Amino acid sequence: MIGDLGARDATALAEMVAAGEVSATELLDAALAAVEARNPAINAVVQMQEGAARKVIAQGLPRGPFRGVPFLLKDLGAEAVDYPGHNGSRLLHDTRWTRDSAIWERIRATGVVCFGRTTSPEGGIGAATEAAVYGGPTRNPWNLDHTSGGSSGGAGAAVAAGIVAIAHGSDGGGSVRIPASSCGLFGFKPTRARLPDGPFVGEGWAGMAIDGFLTRSVRDTAAMLDACEGADLGAPYWAPPLGRGHMAAISRPVAPLRVGIVEGTFTGEPIHPEVAEAVQAAGRLLEDLGHAVEPVTVGADIAGMMRAWTDIVAVGTALGIRRALKGRPLTGDLVEGVGRGACAHAETLHPTRYLEAVGAIHAFGREMAAVFAPETGSGPDILLSATLAEPPAKVGRFSHTTEDYVGYRMGPQGIFAYSPFCAVFNASGQPAASLPLGWSREGLPIGVHLAAAFGRDEQLIGLCADMERAAPWAGRRAPMAG
């Protein structure tokens, strides 16, 4: 059964439960056995709640699209009464909540059986998952010397290792798409405010952060997005309404589109040749599917966006840390180096800088909208690039021990140099996805990135499904997944 769990997507597992071929209890037992067998090597699953999982099965599961399917919540946000968390931090160790978040209420209604959480870096501000609270780094199931990505690195590792077929994540600067690229999975960031944030926050990182999912198939993501989409009560803003929904969008081929390909970074720097090769191959695949693919230049202030992102996240990180400290000193036994550095950087900013940075992000969104310009037909419908500028990094490269927060993010060997594509679409609010279409010569996954105009989630996920059908990736699995 462990092998079956790792080989099938969540939709197929739910179909097995519905047909009486396997029970929810048997799937849970298989997932727990997979944790015991595989998690010691990757350190991805934490805060195990087997009792809560067995209780929901005994009470009767909702008849949603994933009834009986084992599931894991990211240990960052996704507040849930039955699933305490550390939020990636020793400072927030064993945090408990008095009510459930809107996103968890909607996920739970799909019928999943949640039995724990997955690791995340402290504050969710890294492209690797190596938080001290978990006692060591989270490793990539494809090669244990490499990172599984961040900040949803535990979710990516758990799915790639075949522990679960679908896991919750979140994405404020690529935190779903980076693990998807690193672990050979599908990761989709919806349009800003497509999913609910409440009731514990009004928005994440000035609207740049949003929940998401790590999956092995496009259809699993589509079904979960349909189940969870829409603003919650009191939301400050919401995304443009969908047409027929994500599942309907993947049921038929997408009409021919204009695809703009970027073979280096958006600012013209070269990327790793094996990654560039994967982007070029994706361009040829899109041409074979009938789409027009042409080189394009992204004329937007990427450097200014990165500075604004860095300042906004520093202020948000400092706010969360100061609130949790409750007057205690900011010491290394409570907060890791990057978090302390973010607090120090936030203290250097003028009181007006936060709103100035938010304004810069909004201006950048308008610049990116002009790159696409779908209403006038003057730009591409889809922007194709790499997800990361190189294959998955070695463990330790993005350790949180440094206190140089700005260098960690913006330095020549920092996060933005490694991941120069993803945060662009958190800032603009546009939908974006990473598809596992490339592989390095060492056998490591390489993600290819697609983005669409604001609100065009259905167009984007439909194209992703077309590419999955044309170049299936389900047959490639990490060695430990069986």
Cβ atoms of 473 and 9 closer than 8 Å: no
Best CA proximity match to 227, nearest among 280, 303, 168, 278: 168
| DSSP character string of 114-152 | EEEEE---GGG--SS---GGGTS--EETTEEEEE--SSS
- The one catalytic residue in 89, 101, 120, 151 is 151
State how far Cα 146 lies from the chain centre. Answer: 18
Residues 6+ apart with CB under 8 A from 418: 127, 388, 389, 390, 393, 398
Residues 6+ apart with CB under 8 A from 286: 259, 293, 384, 467
Please report, as a single letter, which amino acid is at residue 6: G
Structure tokens belonging to residue 186: 């599908």
Best CA proximity match to 175, nearest among 85, 64, 309: 309
Length of the chain: 482
Structure tokens belonging to residue 234: 């009191």
Name the helix (H) or strand (E) containing 462. Answer: helix 457-470
Q: Is 74 a known active-site residue?
A: yes
- Torsion, Cα of 181, 183, 187, 189 (10° steps): -60
Distance, in Å, from the CA atom of 158 to the CA atom of 144, rounded to the nearest integer, reads 13
Query: What are the distances in angstroms from CA 356 to CA 281, 311, 319, 407?
Result: 40, 10, 17, 21
Q: Is 151 a known active-site residue?
A: yes
- The one catalytic residue in 101, 170, 175, 181 is 175
Please report, as a single letter, which amino acid is at residue 394: K
Best CA proximity match to 138, nearest among 159, 112, 164: 159
Query: What are the distances in angstroms from CA 447 to CA 306, 338, 390?
Result: 21, 27, 10
Torsional sign, CA 66, 68, 72, 78: positive
- Known catalytic residues are 74, 151, 175
